Structure 1
Amino acid sequence: MAEALDQYYGTPGLLLAMWEMAVADPTQFREQYRRYMTLEAEAVSLWHFGVTILPGLLRTDAYARELLALGGYEGKELERQVTARAGRRVVPEGEAAPPFRAIMAETVLRTPLRDAGARREQLDYLLEVSERRNITLQVLLDSAGPHGLVSTAVMFLRLASGTPVAYTESAHRGELIEEGAAVERLQRAYDAMPTRR
């Protein structure tokens, strides 16, 4: 499966290597994320809402490193985790990349990193990817007020079967939601948000 995806996305060996790391080394990616990562790599379209941080697919290495360090990673393990997560950026890249829409709360863009240079690099990267035909970035202004996803970061994936699934996340845990009615409730809240490009 990963080999076929590598060919499809033009990423020779990268997705296969990520999959092998996830399967062979449970410290690489926690069990709860494995199914999500498989579905993410297979998705035909993706859309995300970020409450306080960027989605993993749009993070630079420096941004990911700072977040992972906050989670307690350090030294070689920190670098290993950064490398593993950097591989996810291939999902929205390439000629056959799926459409990806990301809505970010204004806070996501305003929150500084400890390293001002890393923050500038991250913002430059967002400008760069916003030029790709398959990526749409939007901002939910603070002035929009409360909304249906006020404390919920969520990634939606549409699978080849047409079925959508959702993955909600907090600083301490994530949950894959596959039950149709629950996904639809989240999707309605997402679709109702007043955004700006």
Structure 2
Amino acid sequence: MALRTSTTERQRRLGAELRKLREQAGYSVTEGGEFIGMGRAHLGHVEAGRTAIPAEKLRTLCHSYGCTREPLIDALVAMGEDSGKGWWTEYRRTLSQPVLDLAELEAAADALFSYESLFIPGVLQTPEYTRSIFRSSERPHDDLERAVQFRMERQQILTQPEPPTLHAVIHEAALHVRFGGAAVMRRQLLHLIRMAELPHITIQVLPFTAEGLSAFSTPFLLVHSHGSALETVLVEDPAATIYVNESDAVLPYRTRFDRLRAASLPPLDPAVPASTHEARDSLALLQHLIYNLQEA
């Protein structure tokens, strides 16, 4: 039994879900292994994400634990059968594993819910805006153009034949921070309007005037995947990328996003006639900022 020397977030998540089902059923690792003719150490490695488990054994294990949620079992089988060899594997030598894990997570997504306080979400950025962010970073990339290219390739999920839905809430502050200068920001804001024309993309602006919410709460990305059978929250911390998978821990982020969405201006809707934008909404705000950038 060859063990992986390093594990991806997908592999760790699969193992963690199997361990959670076992513990909820009240079985030990030894007892769990007996259900599928697997030794204690072997199942321990599966639960740690260090080795694979055949689909048939995985299904038997889940059923033995009393799991009746077939969508969840199907999702776990899909995770186990996934080779993990997507377009992002070409970047293994130049980018860190957490960055690659994000691309793999997005590739499996059914729906993305993003909140950003100081930046435009990565999947909605223009190349020059991204480049400016990387150049201003305290930890610049060794290969800046390679990093920019990677972020642009991540955006392909939004234009593929069956894209995930994306609902992005962007704090108004992110629209004022001029990464790359006025011209770059103007093109970035115009790009947001163009992306909002896609039927599966919803973009809202959380204004400075929003009440009842902290001005700059921690940005996060909530991901539904595998037919929404699995939920994952990604939180960017200065020291590390944190993945939140436990349902009790995910729930506050779901609630948080609902509050942010409710406090935000109505979504960008370029198809709505201009006369309807007399009231303040996300599109009217962006158009105002774009006008000001022309004067800068």
Shared fold per TM-score greater than 0.5: yes
SS in 2 for 1:143: coil
Which runs of 5 or more structure 2 residues have no equivalent in the other structure? 1-84, 268-296
SS in 1 for 2:164: coil
Task: Find the counterpart in structure 1 of residue 284 from structure 2.
Answer: none
Task: Find the counterpart in structure 2 of residue 103 from structure 1.
Answer: 169
Task: Find the counterpart in structure 2 of residue 145 from structure 1.
Answer: 211
User: Does 2:218 correspond to 1:119?
Assistant: no
Output the amino acid matched with 2:205: V
User: Could you say which structure has the greater relative contact order, defined with CA pairs below 8 angstroms and 6 or more residues apart?
Assistant: 1
Cα deviation for residue 33 of structure 1 reads 3.0
Cα deviation for residue 144 of structure 1 reads 0.8
Aligned residues: 178
Which runs of 5 or more structure 1 residues have no equivalent in the other structure? 1-14
What is the TM-score normalised by the length of structure 2?
0.56
Task: Find the counterpart in structure 1 of residue 235 from structure 2.
Answer: 168
**1:154-193 matches, cutoff 5 A:** 154-161=220-227, 162-193=229-260
Conservation of the 8 A alpha-carbon contact between 2:89 and 2:100: no
Q: Which has the higher strand share?
A: 1
Output the amino acid matched with 2:105: L
SS in 1 for 2:112: strand
Instruction: Find the aligned partners of 2:256 and 2:115 in 1 and give their Cα distance.
Output: 10
SS in 2 for 1:158: strand
Instruction: Find the aligned partners of 1:187 and 1:148 in 2 and give their Cα distance.
Output: 16
Instruction: Find the aligned partners of 1:148 and 1:163 in 2 and give their Cα distance.
Output: 28
Cα deviation for residue 39 of structure 1 reads 1.3
Cα deviation for residue 160 of structure 1 reads 1.0
Instruction: Find the aligned partners of 1:145 and 1:126 in 2 and give their Cα distance.
Output: 25
Task: Find the counterpart in structure 1 of residue 264 from structure 2.
Answer: 195
**1:20-59 matches, cutoff 5 A:** 20-22=89-91, 24-25=92-93, 27-28=94-95, 30-59=96-125
SS in 2 for 1:88: helix
Deviates more, 1:41-50 or 1:140-149: 140-149
Output the amino acid matched with 1:187: R
Per-residue displacement from partner, 1:41-85 (whole Å, max 9, x unpaired)? 1101111001110111001101110111122436x7111111111
- Over the matched positions of the two proteins, sequence identity in percent amounts to 24
Instruction: Find the aligned partners of 1:149 and 1:174 in 2 and give their Cα distance.
Output: 22
Instruction: Find the aligned partners of 1:97 and 1:40 in 2 and give their Cα distance.
Output: 10
Cα deviation for residue 148 of structure 1 reads 6.3
Conservation of the 8 A alpha-carbon contact between 1:101 and 1:137: yes
Instruction: Note the aligned Cα RMSD (angstroms).
Output: 2.1
SS in 1 for 2:146: helix
Q: Which of 113, 128, 133 pairs up with 1:67?
A: 133
Per-residue displacement from partner, 1:94-118 (whole Å, max 9, x unpaired)? 3311110000111111222232221
SS in 1 for 2:104: helix
Output the amino acid matched with 1:31: Q
Q: Which has the larger radius of gyration?
A: 2
Conservation of the 8 A alpha-carbon contact between 2:170 and 2:204: yes
What is the TM-score normalised by the length of structure 1?
0.82
Cα deviation for residue 172 of structure 1 reads 4.9
Instruction: Find the aligned partners of 1:52 and 1:189 in 2 and give their Cα distance.
Output: 17
SS in 1 for 2:168: strand
Instruction: Find the aligned partners of 1:56 and 1:36 in 2 and give their Cα distance.
Output: 11
Output the amino acid matched with 1:195: S
Output the amino acid matched with 2:231: P
Conservation of the 8 A alpha-carbon contact between 1:148 and 1:190: no
Instruction: Find the aligned partners of 1:94 and 1:134 in 2 and give their Cα distance.
Output: 11
Instruction: Find the aligned partners of 1:106 and 1:34 in 2 and give their Cα distance.
Output: 29
